[in-house]
Structure 1
Amino acid sequence: MFKRFLSYFIPINIYKRNSGISTTLEVTWNNGQLVLDSKRTNYSYGSLQRILRKGLQYIGFERIRAFENILVLGVAGGSVIKTLVNEIQFKGKITGVELDPEVIEIANTYFGLADTPGATIVNDDAFEFVLKTKEKYDLIIIDIFQDTVMPNFLFEEFFINRINFLLNVNGFILFNTMTLSKKDKERNEAYRSCFNKNYSVRMYPKVEDHNELFTIKKLG
């Protein structure tokens, strides 16, 4: 607990390893909280948890509690799953998909993700998973980064259409994006235009320094 106390004054790193997928991974006590970071950005807890919590607030905690099936693409340390279970009191099924097995190991060891009720973590590529799954979801959370880079497939028509197919009517997509350049902002505008009148799309810029959130509701 001394390290936790000391972290209110300076960050205290307690674990570091290299990953072939996520580059550098670090677990650090920061302001009394354990966080998971990559080389250049926060992966779980810390600012990322604040970002996704805001997105869930935009959708509405009471509405989320009534959902039955949630898909999380990009788990990292599991902070959004912890928010769903511990803060929102979601009692349904959560499936988390994470590409990097080393991230899953860290999430289980340092953040207790394996002990989270109702949550199943799958080590798989998000693109491959959404092609294979037979289930439909009330909420799909997309939070996929390799350090600060977002894979191109997230913004391609085929993937967007597949996600839309997996979403139940009156369900939501919560998509966390990073905008570091003018090109990124143009990419997000193009993404927004991919949804027709059957969807209600809202974009929340500057949720943190470089993050833009989308909430997308399927109307019919």
Structure 2
Amino acid sequence: MLKRLLSYLYPIKIHSQKSAFSKSLEITWANGDLVMDSMNTNYSYGSLQRILKLGLKNIGFEKIKNMQHILILGVAGGSVIKTLIDDIHFPGKITGVEIDPEVIQIANRYFKLNEIPQLKIIIDDAFEFVLKTTDKYDLIVVDVFQDTKMPNFLFETFFIDRICFLLKNRGNILFNTMLLNKADNLRNQKLISDFSKENCSIKSIPRVEKHNELIIIEKLV
């Protein structure tokens, strides 16, 4: 409790370790909350939780509450999962895909993800998983980062086609992206254009927490 109280004055790091995928992972008390950070950015809770919660609000909490199966690509500490459980009271099935097993070990220890009964965590590459899965989803959250970098496959036409195929009619995709330069802006413009070819309605919420842009897609047919 003392560390939590002191964190309102200054951040207090309580855990740090190296990771093959994320390089550096830290757990810190900040403003009374535990957050997970990589070397250069917030990985879970803190600003990232605010960003993804805004995206979920734009989709609609009531709509999400009535969904049956949600896919999370990029779990990290599980902040979007906590929002689904604690704020939306989502009763359905959640499948979380995370490439880094060390991240999940930390998330279980500090954020108790392993205590969420409807959550199934799969250690796999997001691209490989979407190729293999035969399930259909009401909501797909794409939040795949390696520190501040986003893998190139996320923006390839094949991946976009595949996640649209896995989406139920009237289902949604919440795509979290980071804009750090002009090339990133052009990349996102192409992404939005590619999704427009998939019989989807699209809107973007730019400059969330300064560097993030949320892209929200609804499958129309």
Category of TM-score, reference length = shorter chain: over 0.9
Runs of 4+ in 1 over 2 A off after TM superposition: none
Q: How does 1:106-117 map to 2 (within 5 A)?
A: 106-117=106-117
The corresponding residue for 1:11 is 11
Query: Normalized against structure 1, the TM-score is what?
Result: 0.99
Please report how far the alpha carbon of residue 207 of structure 1 lies from its aligned counterpart in structure 2 after TM superposition. 1.1
Backbone CA RMSD of aligned residues: 0.6
CA–CA separation in structure 2 for the residues paired with 1:208 and 1:156 = 26
1:81 aligns with 2:81: yes
One-letter identity of the residue aligned with 1:48: L
What residue in structure 2 maps to residue 193 of structure 1? Answer: 193
Tell me what 1:205 maps to.
Answer: 206
Report the Cα distance in structure 2 between the residues aligned to 1:170 and 1:20, rounded to whole angstroms.
38
Q: Is the 8 A contact 2:98 2:122 kept in 1?
A: yes
Percent sequence identity is 62
Aligned letter for 1:134?
T
Cα shift readout 1:5-58 (whole Å, capped 9, x = no counterpart): 000000000000011100100000000000000000000000000000000000
Matches within 5 A, 1:9-158: 9-158=9-158
Tell me if the contact between 1:77 and 1:107 (Cα under 8 Å) persists in the aligned partners.
yes
Shift of 1:208: 1.0
Three-state SS of the structure 1 residue aligned to 2:194 is coil
Matched AA of 1:205: P
Secondary structure at the aligned position of 1:205 is classed as: strand
d(CA) in 2 for partners of 1:117, 1:42: 26
Amino acid at match of 2:107: A
What CA deviation, in whole Å up to 9, does each residue of 1:103-123 have, x standing for no partner? 000000011011013111111
CA distance in 2, matches of 1:14, 1:94: 29
Please state whether the residue corresponding to 1:4 is helix, strand or coil: helix
Instruction: Give 1:94 shift.
Output: 0.2
Could you say what secondary structure the match of 1:194 adopts? helix
User: Aligned letter for 2:208?
Assistant: V
Q: For each residue in 1:116-155, what CA deviation from the matched residue of structure 2 results, as whole angstroms up to 9, or x when unmatched?
A: 1311111110000000101000000000000000000000
Distance 1:156 1:41 in 2: 24
Gaps (5+ residues) in structure 1? none
Indicate the residue corresponding to 1:215 in structure 2: 216
Give 5+ residue unaligned stretches, structure 2: none
- AA aligned to 1:107 is A
Q: TM-score, normalised by structure 2?
A: 0.99
8 Å contact 2:164–2:198 — kept in the other structure?
no
Secondary structure in 1 matching 2:207 = coil
Are the aligned partners of 2:199 and 2:220 in contact in 1 as well (CA < 8 Å)?
yes
Contact 1:82-1:116 within 8 A present in 2 as well: no
Is the CA contact 1:17–1:25 (under 8 Å) kept in the aligned structure 2? Answer: yes
- What secondary structure does 1:214 align onto? strand
What is the distance in 2 between the residues matched to 1:23 and 1:105?
A: 15
Query: What number of residue pairs does the alignment pair up?
Result: 220
